[in-house]
């Protein structure tokens, strides 16, 4: 079992993939199975104010700082790493510009991923977390060129304060950086919602990004 801490110590996930499933919206899509088996990731612990529905409450008191991290990592305000790539303004290794991205998704914050980052941060181990503990999730990388996987658009962070330091862990999903896989679709950036070719996506022409609703 994967259980919470503090007031949520009796609230557990019964499956190792709960955090991943929750990040994909399964708590709402498949509540009959998810809510009793993935209580921690679906935020339906007994300490929640409304246990009958998944809560959007943060998994940690560091949520405000974590939201600042998503603004930094997503490149807000401009220049935006993903937006620059989509517009064909990002420099490549040869002194030119990387190709335009046709359907680059805008980064969004995800509380289920934040929960996974929190578990690793509380271990106070300065290495990447084992892949099996963050199924289908990657981990923080400061290199812009490694942060432009088109379909890796969710991010969650946790800040853990220790007496001598502050430890920040960020994880992202769905996991990218797969050998042999296309990083992004090359082409002119979106001008209409239909150009995004994904469900419930809105095109932000100003940013040249597709926003998943």
CATH topology of domain 63-212: Pathogenesis-related Protein p14a (3.40.33)
Query: How confident is the model over 154-210, as pLDDT tens digits?
Result: 888 888 887 777 888 888 888 776 777 888 999 999 999 999 999 899 999 999 999
Query: How confident is the model over 131-150, as pLDDT tens digits?
Result: 544 454 445 455 565 578 89
Decide the pairing of beta strands 154-161 and 108-109. Answer: parallel
Question: What is the value of pTM for the model shown?
Answer: 0.59
Alpha-carbon span 41 to 54, nearest angstrom: 9
Q: What is the pLDDT of residue 118?
A: 87
- Given a contact cutoff of 8 angstroms between Cβ atoms, the answer to whether 113 and 172 are in contact is yes
Task: Give the burial class of 92: count Cβ atoms within 10 A of its Cβ; 0-12 exposed, 13-18 middle, 19 or more buried.
Answer: exposed
Query: How confident is the model over 25-66, as pLDDT tens digits?
Result: 888 888 888 888 888 888 777 644 443 333 333 344 455 556
Structural domain boundaries in the chain? 2-42, 63-212
Query: How confident is the model over 78-103, as pLDDT tens digits?
Result: 447 889 999 999 888 898 999 999 99
């Amino acid at each position: 079992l994967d259980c919470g801490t503090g007031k949520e110590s009796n609230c557990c996930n019964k499956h190792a993939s709960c955090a991943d499933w929750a990040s994909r919206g399964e708590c709402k899509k498949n509540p009959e199975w998810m809510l009793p088996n993935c209580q921690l990731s679906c935020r339906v612990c007994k300490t929640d104010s409304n246990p009958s529905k998944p809560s959007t409450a943060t998994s940690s008191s560091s949520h405000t700082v974590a939201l600042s991290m998503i603004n930094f990592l997503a490149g807000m305000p401009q220049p935006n790493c993903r937006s620059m790539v989509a517009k064909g303004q990002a420099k490549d290794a040869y002194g030119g510009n990387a190709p335009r991205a046709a359907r680059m998704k805008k980064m969004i914050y995800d509380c289920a991923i934040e929960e996974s980052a929190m578990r690793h941060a509380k271990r106070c181990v300065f290495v990447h977390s084992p892949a099996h503990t963050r199924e289908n999730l990657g981990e923080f990388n400061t290199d812009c060129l490694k942060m432009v996987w088109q379909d890796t658009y969710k991010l969650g962070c946790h800040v853990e304060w220790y007496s001598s330091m502050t430890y920040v862990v960020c994880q992202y999903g769905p996991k990218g950086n797969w050998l042999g896989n296309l990083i992004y679709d090359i082409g002119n950036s979106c001008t209409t919602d239909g150009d995004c070719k994904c469900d419930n996506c809105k095109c932000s022409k100003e940013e040249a990004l597709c926003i998943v609703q």
